[in-house]
Structure 1
Amino acid sequence: MPQEAATDPYADPLRFGQRVQILRERRGMTQAQLADFVGVSPHTLRKIENGQQKTPGLDMVMRIAEALRVRDLGDLTGRPDTRVDLFIGPGHPRLAAVKAAVDSFPPMNSVEPPPVAHLEARLHAAWRKRHASKNHREAIGRLLPDLIRDAQALTRHADTATERRRAQALLAEVYSLSQFFIAFQPDSHLLWRVAERGMVAAQESGDPHAIGVASWLLAQAHRDSGPRHFEAADAVNREAVAYLRPLLPDATEDVLAIAGALEFELGYTAARRRETGTAWLHWDKANDMARRLPTDYYHPVTSFGTAIMGAHAVTVAVELHQGGEYVRQAARADRSVIKSRPRRARHRIEEARGYRLDNQLDTAVAVLEKAAEAAPETIRYNGYARAILLEEVESTQAARRRRAAEVASRIGLLAA
């Protein structure tokens, strides 16, 4: 048997425990780290991997899948007939058109660039649509191909250094908007192309806000690639924070907000590592920056502002598995209004994760119902939400099973 076949999660007759070990090692995690993530002792996890303990129940399987960021549940179970994509959505109908626009490099004079003010107004309207629409991917997906084409044309036709820097800032912003569409879609290579091009365009522009936004998104791309990439995420974040720090005394609201968003991302990554003190320290720093902003302000890209800090606290508490802390933070967050529909839905998903960890499964499903009301596309393409719903549609509790199935059907997760 070839060496690579022996480590293929689909190669029979691998036991469940062997698959866990292989996927854990590919993530660069120790047994102790994975055991901590899923809430069992290292001794218990060792017995699971060695086959000395029977395959755990569905709840534990889903926790392991979440901790290992398994893209397809079949990779973990070894049953291709039960393929379930967990952290990548099924692919939006407009993905092909967006991808074609990103990959296209038309000849120099084939596209006439729009006036700068016109492109700025269209971008502003696109961000408004993203925050206000229930189906925000559909809303921006129909706009992105033309925005990408026109922003690229604007950079090619810039006559002066000043015009070129302004055009590059707009191009970076278009790529930022694109990343919100491409995230959780089945094309990770496209996401990386857009993230890296956005960073290059932002650096070419020399615009602090553009650089901050591109760094925020690039750091997220690194972090979401798994624990082995956490250091790369932190490196991008720290460099951006250090770059922006001298500018903050006289910064605009948008620059101050992206600096605060970057500060929180350092805390989020620390929480993913279970570094409790560091995570809350960065949350505190981000909260201090949020307090310097008007109470009704929210950042057009990240939604950062005073209203979002409660939601961020829920996320930190959930990642740290801090018992009832996420419930307390959830109650606090609900007193603030998050203007962005997709961000509001994302917050609900984080709440549902917390209630699931606290074994309040009926409440978790009820919260996901609220997420679906706010932004169905957010919950449909979010791996955590999908995992919870797919688990609860198999619940032995009839009422919970029925409610989960209704939500899953409404967002198209159980569509034929």
Structure 2
Amino acid sequence: MDFAFGPDDEELRHRARAWLTEHLTDGTPRPAGRAWERELGAGGWIGLGWSTARGTYGNRTASPTGQVVWAEEYARAGGPPRLGHMGEHLLAPTLLAHGDDAQCARFLPAVARGEEIWCQGYSEPGAGSDLAALRTTAVRADGGRTYRVSGQKVWTSHAHEADWCFLLARTTEGSRRHHGLSFLLVPMDQPGRIEVRPIRQLTGAAEFNEVFFDGAKARAEHLVGGEGAGWRVAMSLLARERGVATLALQTGFAAELGRVIRLAQRTGAAAEPVVRDRLVRQWADLQVMRWNALRTLGDAADPGAPSVAKLLWGSWHKRLGELAMQVRGAPAALGPDDWRAGRPYRLDALQHLFLFSRADTVYGGSDEIQRNLIAERVLGLPKEARP
């Protein structure tokens, strides 16, 4: 199979690399934030390929492989983590597939300009990987013009900065599992009705949040896909979560692996046969992941592709974190010098890699859940018994 990119892709790569060089290497730091999102939007780099028969809502026309080119160049240039990831890569494709014209026209241009930030309200206490067990409810109110959302979401990235939240809620009283769920767009600026509490992690950061909804309002016209169709919409979104973005993720992984290899060479650990073998395996497995992601790009007919991709990269990244600590040896347990000098304690890049990657096989659907999905949807094995 030919994994080469075409002439149009390479032209886009040249333009992307030139723009990123200008905007990321001028000596000005570019932290993740609203200003950077607006800069990306003004440059035309948000919403590549948002074109349908109903209209064009993004900034630039691009094929799936062109979108991969931009994502890879962004990761290769060391672009900061994206505050607008949820809106661009998850909400937008979902609205293009399941939303109506009014929803696309209202929300997508604002995302493409980098003006509105989104968070995702899926996981709940007791309903993380088992998403169908969620208990958040949405009840019709105001003569049917709105929904009132009540419940709790957890592990919600960027909730403390987001303008909007797309969430799953139970709209049919007494429904169970994936029945009676709906996909709603909820404004976050509702004091007294929405409370966001940061979750402090092992890394010392607070990238995730708990979100409490107490009768929060969502307009009826912001129901996506129809009442009771939330499970279908949510599964469509999760499949997109592991599409083009997975290839960009792998570009970042390659940079991390290169850092571990250089460290192994400096410390002499690369001379140890066991360590050398692990380094080679990590490199080879990363190539396989890339080829698999390219092979399945845009193949909506493969129901197992998203689960296979998640299994591959989650376990690979966790192993890389462990390998980084093995290569570093005992100094891996020490804090940075500036901490001992009385400055705030901060993990370095490899320590952060090790601690954060412990969660890679759990969040976004645990390995156990992914294996069940592959068994049931691809291999046709009997479904696991559920209460």
Relative to the length of structure 2, the TM-score reads 0.25
Q: Counting helix residues as a fraction of each chain, which structure ranks higher?
A: 1
Q: Counting strand residues as a fraction of each chain, which structure ranks higher?
A: 2
